[in-house]
Structure 1
Amino acid sequence: MRTVGRLVTSLMLAVLVLSGCTDGGGVKNPVKAVAPKDPLTIETNVDNGASSVPVDTLVTVDGFDGQLSDVSLASQDGKTKVPGDIRGVRWTAQQFLEPGTSYVLTAAGTGDDGKKVTSTTRFTTKALSLDEQTYPAVAPLQGETVGVGMPVIVSFDLPVKDRAAFEKRMKVTAQPATVGGWYWLSDNTAHWRPKSYWKPGTKVSVDLALNSVPAGDGIYGQQDQRVDFTVGRSVVSIVDTKRHRMTVKIDGKARRTIPVSTGDASHRSRNGTKLVMEKHESIDMDAATTGVDSDDPNYYNLKGVKYALRVTNSGEFLHAAPWSAASQGNANVSHGCVGMSTANAGWLFSQSKRGDVVRYVGSPRRLEPANGWTDWNVSWSDWLEGSALQGEDPAA
């Protein structure tokens, strides 16, 4: 009985094994069905055929169910190309757009299904008048060699209300690296200066990525700017109004002490640190430009004044003054300018450049803020408070 039972059990197991390897139709090892892969879908944040697209639009392209491989954005005439980069599934433009311009956006990639897809989007940006664009003028000039006190000056012809948005895109880099910062004198003017005087030989680059950046009140930046300049040797002059002497130091060494005459008791030369703003080998000096009427006994109109270096907006110069030779080194008889012999003025003129430092001491009259490039009369802590970012990370 045990033998028969074992035989029956073995036959039953064999039947079960055979049943597990076949189905009713006799098909062996069925393959599970795989869902089909999706094609690439391309989406942009600008509609095809759109008009009056805001110029401060950063164009983006997204690729879903695949990978973007190539994106280009250019004006229809091909003259303007907008750079961008792909991160993950998104391409993002690195610049804003030009006003009143027709653009062609082309994107291509491969879907998860292995098939290539290309998309073309055409659109036009909103036109802007000159009254809706602010132009950034920069000093120093491209390639200029300047003095150790020279600030970077950006002047806007229309006011910038959103100073922070602009300052984030206004970069100054130097070699060797130099600590410095921006200070807004007004909505139309911003200065960047180092914490201390520039090191002679420093190479400086100014990059203003302001094209189409919103300035506020419906105004936009008119264009980007790039200016490179070099800091020359150190020329620092000290004008002692009490002793009627000016000491000129070049690279830290006193090179010449010059007898001078400065402003008289009614027209004191202003105390403080000034910078050479302009150089004129010859210039006419008319007191009317400083608000003195021609009927005033203090009126003057001097033709062809030689070797003039402007240091204030109000009209203070260092220049040749042969008419006051007897007073130079002895008395102050000018209307505020520093007068010296023609020979000394010619020598100083030959040594000077924009941004050279001229420090006045001994006068009871103080230099007014912004009467010239008065940056070095502001403490570093106060200077930092003039930034629109106030310690905020510019990259944020």
Structure 2
Amino acid sequence: MSVLAASACTSQATADNGKPSASASASQTGSPSESPSPSPTVDPVVWKSNVSEDATGVAVNTRVTAAADAGDLTQAALSYVSKKGNTVEVKGKLEAGTWTAGDLLEPGVKYALALSAKNSSGETEKVTRTFRTANLTLDDQIYVAVSPGDGADVGIGMPVIVRFDLPVTDKAAFEKHMAVTSSPAQAGSWYWLSSREAHWRPKSYWKPGTKVNVTAELNGVQSGRLYGEMSRTSSFTIGRSVIAKVNLKTHEMNVAINGKNVKTIPVTGGMPGFTTRSGVKVITDKVTNITMKAETIGLKKGEKGYYPDTPVKWALRLTNSGEFLHSAPWSVGDQGRRNVSHGCTGISNTNGAWVYENFKIGDIVDTTGTDRPMTMGNGIADWNLSWAAWQKGSAL
């Protein structure tokens, strides 16, 4: 037993032929044994965003961005749960390794930002972060309305109109997010009539058949202490060219459709004290079977010029102050001869029916022959300003 033990401790291993084995020779010559290579270290992806994880009270004028260090961002998805419980996806764009949201934020909701990236070894890593936006009341937000509405077919004089329910104190901030494009393209500009209304018109009348697209990306845009409540879009079409030229000295209205004179109509305008305004007017409404009331033009019963409620079959509104182009069968004997109305342009019932059929909202009524001008804000008086004066009304 001890010999075996000694042999086990000191004897040299031999092969069957009596020579030292290869393993024994290698061990004796001092050749190093092979060991496995260490695994390379993979740095984890470092997620970057301009909104912190679990943040609260995030301002609604924040445009979310996301990127990745120690990796390549491959996908990002931003969504929120609306106050009605619906999940709403927010579109965005991934460029040069940074994802940018296509819209600003909604108030008082919870957002989820889901990110995917490839780390240095090519493996996919994912993370989802959440945050909440600041609460806003309706008194903190500016409601936005755009006209003409989507799908409308309007005349060559119709401007784009954006109205706000609260004053916009930072007009430039809002205007930067309001755009009008058209096919064919036409140069144009915004003009602020007030802090609650802005118009966009081309340099000259729209070309018939033009397709117009409006974007007012005002959701979350800040103006003083207020924010835009929503974004709006509208796409509409320009119809044929219809221009009526009213001459209240000759008491005639000449109508041209697509540049061709098609009809001459006898008219009567405002009598002394109720002078019809001269200038380019745009039809803003079409109505039938309405009642004209003296009170709507500031007359009280017993005052000079007061008249009883009067039914009218065909009427096209020209100003906010009460001027219409309308049928007036009671004055047919004066039409083409003298001005006897309270400021409206009167025509016969037959001609009223024809005008109602052939004119649309946005068509032009260009009146001459009086010394009372159109004023901005009284209906659509936009075309009475020169192009240079119009451009000065922009906030940019």
Matched, 1:171 2:216: no
TM-score by length of 2: 0.87
Query: Offset of 1:294 from its aligned partner?
Result: 2.1
**CA deviation after TM superposition for structure 1 residue 379, in Å:** 0.4
CA–CA distance in 2 between the matches of 1:365 and 1:285? 22
Q: Distance in 1 between matches of 2:38 and 2:79?
A: 45
The amino acid of 1:136's aligned partner reads V
**Contact preservation (8 Å) 2:193, 2:376:** no
Partners of 1:282 and 1:141 lie apart in 2 by 25
How do residues 118-197 of structure 1 correspond to structure 2 at under 5 angstroms? 118-197=126-205
Partner in structure 1 of residue 56 of structure 2: 51
Letter in 2 for 1:304: P
Structure 1 contact 40–63 (Cα < 8 Å) conserved: yes
The amino acid across from 1:240 in the alignment is N
Corresponding letter in the other structure for 2:169 = K
Other structure's SS at 2:87 match: coil
One of 61, 65, 72 as aligned partner of 2:66: 61
> Are positions 1:269 and 2:293 aligned together?
no
Residue among 316, 321, 340 paired with 1:314: 321
CA distance in 1, matches of 2:380, 2:308: 25
Which shows bigger deviation, 292-301 or 304-313?
292-301
Q: How far off is 1:34 after superposition?
A: 10
* Alpha-carbon shift at residue 122 of structure 1 (Å): 1.2
Q: 68-77 or 153-162, which moves further after superposition?
A: 68-77
Q: What are the Cα deviations for residues 181-214 of structure 1, in whole angstroms up to 9, with x where unaligned?
A: 1111111000010111111111111111111111
- What's 2:234 paired with? 227
**Within the alignment, does 1:385 sit opposite 2:392 as a pair?**
yes
Q: Deviations over 1:248-289 (max 9, x none)?
A: 111111111111110012111111110101101121111212
Aligned residue type for 1:69: T
Q: How far apart are residue 215 of structure 1 and its match?
A: 2.2
Provide the rounded CA distance (Å) in 2 between the counterparts of 1:133 and 1:99.
10
1:80 is paired with a residue whose SS is strand
Q: State which drifts further: 178-187 or 298-307.
A: 298-307
**Counterpart position of 2:20:** none
Instruction: Tell me how far apart the structure 2 counterparts of residues 337 and 240 of structure 1 sit (CA, whole Å).
Output: 13
Report the Cα distance in structure 2 between the residues aligned to 1:361 and 1:78, rounded to whole angstroms: 56
What RMSD over aligned residues (CA atoms) do the two structures have, in Å?
Answer: 2.1
Q: CA deviation at 1:47?
A: 2.1
Where does residue 80 of structure 1 map in the other structure? 88
Map of 1:285-296 to 2, 5 A cutoff?
A: 285-296=292-303
What one-letter code is carried by the residue in structure 2 that aligns with 1:154? Answer: V
Amino acid at match of 2:240: R
Tell me the CA shift for residue 26 of structure 1: 6.9
> In the alignment, is the contact (CA less than 8 A) between 1:64 and 1:89 conserved in 2?
no
1:38 matched to which residue of 2? Answer: 43
User: Aligned-pair distance for 1:78?
Assistant: 5.5
CA distance in 1 between counterparts of 2:308 and 2:391 reads 42
Residue of structure 2 equivalent to 1:94: 102
Q: For residues 142-195 of structure 1, what are the alpha-carbon distances to aligned partners after superposition, in whole Å with 9 as ceiling and x for unaligned? A: 211111111111111111111112111111111111111111111100001011
Q: CA deviation at 1:27?
A: 7.2
Please state if 1:106 is matched with 2:134. no
Query: In structure 2, which of residues 252, 259, 263 is the aligned counterpart of residue 256 of structure 1?
Result: 263
Aligned position for 1:354? 361
Residue aligned with 2:391, SS: helix
Determine the C-alpha separation between the residues in 1 that align with 2:217 and 2:386: 28
Mapped to 1, the partners of 2:248 and 2:139 lie a distance apart of 47
CA contact (8 A) 1:41 1:111 kept: no
**Unaligned stretches of 5+ in structure 1?**
1-24, 390-396
2:291 to 284, 295, 319: 284
Distance in 2 between the 1:314 and 1:323 partners?
22
Any unmatched runs of 5+ in structure 2? Answer: 1-29
Post-superposition Cα deviations, 1:16-56, rounded to whole Å, max 9, x if no partner, equal xxxxxxxxx8779xxx9997342211122222222211111
2:257 and 2:343 map into 1 onto residues whose CA distance is 25
SS state of the match for residue 253, structure 2?
strand
Q: Which one is further off, 81-90 or 332-341?
A: 81-90
For residue 343 of structure 1, the aligned residue among 330, 337, 350 is 350
Residues in 2 aligned to 1:164 and 1:273: alpha-carbon distance in whole angstroms:
28
Partner SS state of residue 247, structure 1: strand
**Contact 1:183–1:190 at 8 Å: present in 2 too?**
yes
1:256 and 1:114 map into 2 onto residues whose CA distance is 76
Match of 2:306 among 282, 290, 299: 299
The separation in 1 between residues aligned to 2:143 and 2:368, in whole angstroms, is 38
Contact 2:269 2:346 in 1 (8 A): yes
Please give the alpha-carbon distance, in whole angstroms, between the structure 2 residues aligned to 1:278 and 1:336.
17
Deviations 1:280-334 (A, max 9, x none): 1121111212222223122224332121111011111111111111111111111
